[in-house]
């Protein structure tokens, strides 16, 4: 018992102004006595759990030809769900039924705010050739943002992992393309590590797409989980989006958010975690 008491005293004496100790029934108890320590909040870095996302940067309007809601309907739904910012990302002109180039030049007619929601005017461009996209840089510069991804029926006929990987790497080296959409699509297999390392180098966001888990691109789930884990390992910017094709799925992000959380991605890696972080990532004014 004496030895236990001495050990108890020694433990408390390591920080005598902050702790006191006492022995009860042979058990050493340490009491915190410093008011500053008692009241101190955890550091900010310890208080950054994954929170609810308030932005969605990958939304298709009726103009995409295979989506079913207007800009106004989408903005109203976003407002009702408490979103702060949405990104209109209709498909580029290479996809059958998609709007043509002049449509994107005219996106400035859409107000910056609808129903209290900030509206960004962008595109989900289609990757064509060996690393080009289906809108010119001249048009991309007029938009608030540009995403790019592989899609069927757009003229791209990548036949193997190496070709697809090189095409993505080339696209990511275009600074006007800020995010790569649904890279887990099994129809366009890629070298995940090579692509994620290039994304880290160029600062291009890799999308974890909610629709890939619930409604689109069957067979994507395991690829998306691996990509999310590699984003964590290589500190790659991440974008979490709905890929909504109807207003009711705007802001539906829970499945993708859960995968990103489980993969160990830091909250600060999610570029669209808030309106402020989204605008900062895209170089836009608040």
Q: What is the pLDDT of residues 65-108, one digit of tens each?
A: 999 999 999 999 999 999 999 999 999 999 999 999 999 999 99
pLDDT at 17 over 50: no
pLDDT of residue 49: 55
pLDDT of residue 40: 38
Instruction: Report the relative pairing of strands 55-59 and 27-32 from DSSP bridges.
Output: unpaired
pLDDT of residue 158: 77
Name which of 14, 286, 279 is nearest 122 in CA terms: 279
Domain extent listing, the chain = 2-40, 50-282
Q: Which helix (H) or strand (E) holds 120?
A: strand 117-128
Mean pLDDT for 122-135 is 93
For the entire predicted model, the pTM comes to: 0.81
pLDDT at 202 over 60: yes
Low-confidence winner among 20-24, 102-106, 233-237, 268-272 (lowest mean pLDDT): 20-24
User: Quick one: fold of 50-282?
Assistant: TIM Barrel (3.20.20)
pLDDT at 7 over 90: no
- Check residues 160 and 48 and name the one with the higher pLDDT: 160
- Check residues 194 and 13 and name the one with the higher pLDDT: 194
Contacts of 176 (CB under 8 A, 6+ apart): 137, 140, 141, 146
Q: Please give the Cα distance from 278 to 251 (Å, whole number).
A: 15
pLDDT of residue 155: 84
pLDDT at 245 over 70: yes
Q: Read off the pLDDT of residues 212-241 as tens digits, 9 standing for 90 and up.
A: 888 776 777 999 999 999 999 999 999 999
């Amino acid at each position: 018992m004496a030895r236990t008491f001495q050990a108890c005293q020694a433990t408390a004496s390591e920080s005598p102004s902050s702790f006191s100790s006492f022995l009860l029934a042979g058990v050493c108890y340490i009491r915190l006595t410093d008011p500053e320590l008692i009241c101190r909040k955890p550091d900010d870095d310890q208080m950054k759990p994954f929170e609810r996302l308030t932005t969605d940067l990958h939304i298709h309007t009726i103009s995409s030809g295979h989506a079913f809601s207007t800009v106004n309907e989408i903005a109203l739904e976003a407002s009702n769900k408490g979103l702060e910012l949405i990104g209109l990302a209709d498909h580029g002109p290479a996809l059958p039924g998609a709007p043509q180039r002049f449509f994107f030049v005219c996106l400035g007619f859409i107000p910056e705010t609808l129903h209290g929601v900030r509206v960004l005017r962008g595109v989900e461009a289609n990757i064509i050739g060996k690393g080009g996209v289906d809108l010119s840089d001249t048009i991309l510069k007029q938009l608030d943002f540009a995403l790019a991804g592989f899609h069927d029926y757009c003229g791209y006929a990548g036949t193997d992992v190496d070709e697809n990987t090189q095409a993505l790497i080339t696209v990511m080296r275009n600074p006007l393309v800020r995010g790569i959409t649904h890279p887990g699509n099994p129809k366009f297999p890629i070298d995940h590590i090579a692509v994620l390392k290039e994304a880290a180098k160029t600062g291009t966001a890799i999308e974890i797409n909610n629709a890939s888990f619930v409604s689109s691109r069957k067979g994507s789930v395991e690829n998306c989980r691996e990509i999310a884990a590699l984003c964590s390992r290589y500190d790659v910017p991440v974008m979490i989006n709905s890929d909504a094709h109807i207003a009711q799925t705007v802001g539906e992000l829970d499945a993708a958010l859960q995968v990103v959380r489980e993969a160990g991605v830091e909250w600060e890696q999610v570029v669209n975690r808030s309106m402020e972080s989204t605008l900062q990532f895209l170089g836009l004014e608040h």
